[in-house]
Amino acid sequence: MKKTGIVKQKFDRDFALDNKALDEENRTVEIAFSSEEPYERAFGSEVLDHDPQSLRLGRLDNGAAVLVNHDSDDQIGVVESARVDDDRRGRAVIRFSKSKRGQEIFQDVIDGIRSLVSVGYRIHKYDVTEREGESDLVRVTDWEPYELSLVSIPADPSVGVGRSEITEPEPKAAEGKTEIIKEKTMKEETQKVESPAFDEKAEKTRIRAEE
C-alpha cells in the first residue's frame, strides 16, 4: 500500500538534548537525534528503522549543517560524526561555530536554555502495515538525515510533515458553497445616505417665488 506525500518529502523529529555530553573547550556536544519510537503523523504511525542499511549517514558524516529552527540561513555549527548504536538510536557529535551567533547558542545549551534537538530527514522507502482500529504502521526502511537543528518549539505532530519546509494546502470550500467571512468596519456598518438629484426647474421656480 502506497502513501502519498512521503517519499523525498522533508520531515523532522525532536529529541531532548543531554548537556552532560558537553565539551566546552572544544565546543562540542554529543546528541541522540533519532530512535525507533513510533511517531504519529497524518499518514500513520511512523517508525524509523535503525538497521545499519536503513540509514544514509553520508550527509551527516560529511559535515552537515547544525541550524537554529531548521533555518538554512542560521547555521551555528557542523556535524563532526554520526552513528547508530546498539540501542538502535542515531547519535552525532556536533561542533559549534566560534562566530558570535554560534557562541550565543552554545552558551544557551550550556545554561540549559536550549535543550531540544531536531533532525531533518527525507524518506526514500517504507513499508505499510494496515491495522484494524489503529492508524497504519509505516516503517521507514530507507531514510536520510540531512541536518540537525536546535529548536525552541517542538514540531506539532498533528500536522505530520516537515513544518519548517512544507506548507499544508489550504482547505478548499465545498462545491457551490463559497463562504466569505469579513470583519466589518464602522464605515461599512454605517448606512449610506444618498443626496436627492438636483432639479434645475424646481430650483428656478423656488427662486422666483422668493423674489
Q: How does DSSP classify residue 155? A: -
CA dist 161 and 168 (Å) reads 8
pLDDT digit string, tens, across residues 120-136: 999 999 999 999 999 99
Mapped onto helix, strand or coil, the DSSP state of residue 202 is: helix
Q: Is the pLDDT of residue 50 over 50?
A: yes
pLDDT band at 182 (very low <50, low <70, confident <90, very high): very low
Query: Using an 8 Å Cβ cutoff, are 76 and 101 in contact?
Result: yes
pLDDT digit string, tens, across residues 79-132: 999 999 999 989 999 999 999 999 999 999 999 888 888 899 999 999 999 999
Would the pTM count as exceeding 0.75?
no
User: Residue 114's pLDDT is what?
Assistant: 87
Which residues on adjacent β-strands are paired with residue 128?
Answer: 138
User: Residue 13's pLDDT is what?
Assistant: 57
Q: What residue has cell string 499518514?
A: 43
Query: Using an 8 Å Cβ cutoff, are 76 and 102 in contact?
Result: yes
108, exposed or middle or buried, with CB in 10 Å at 0-12, 13-18, 19+? middle
Query: Using an 8 Å Cβ cutoff, are 149 and 73 in contact?
Result: no
Share of the chain above pLDDT 70, in %: 63
Q: Which of 18-27, 39-48, 186-195 has the lowest mean pLDDT?
A: 186-195
Residues in the chain: 211
